[in-house]
Amino acid sequence: MATKRQEQSFNKLRADDIGRFKGNSRSKDDIIVVIGPVVKLRHPDDRKLDYVGKYGMYWIRCYRKSRGNWVLGKFDKSCWWPINADKMVRQAKKFAKTVYYIPHGTLNKNGKAVRRDYELRPPTR
């Protein structure tokens, strides 16, 4: 049974529309956060700039816990090509224990909630 803090963490992620996915349990890195799309691009059939839904530039940041502190893992980069968000998350599952997808917002706003959720609800094997 989930504790009250775990339920609150889950509800916070749901309210912010953040997705959590199970990854590779043998990986060294704990969390990969996929943020995006983070820029406005021109639609192929339109002349206005707008967010392109699930396509665009994504920011991928990887964290691991070292000596009680969160440090950057092996990824901290932007991906700039027309790729689907689902494919990006599928690829990220290979490199960390848990993957979080933040479709709206920034890591500055949601980073603490993501790391706290991982500590409250660690991945199961």
- Which pLDDT tens digit goes with each residue over 70-122? 999 888 888 866 677 788 888 899 999 999 999 887 888 888 899 999 999 98
Q: Higher confidence at residue 105 or residue 8?
A: 8
Confirm whether 44 is domain-assigned.
yes
Given this model, what pLDDT does residue 123 score? 86
As a whole number of Å, the end-to-end CA separation of the chain is 17
Confirm whether 96 is domain-assigned.
yes
Confirm whether 125 is domain-assigned.
no
Q: Which domain holds residue 63?
A: 4-120
* Number of domains present in the structure of the chain: 1
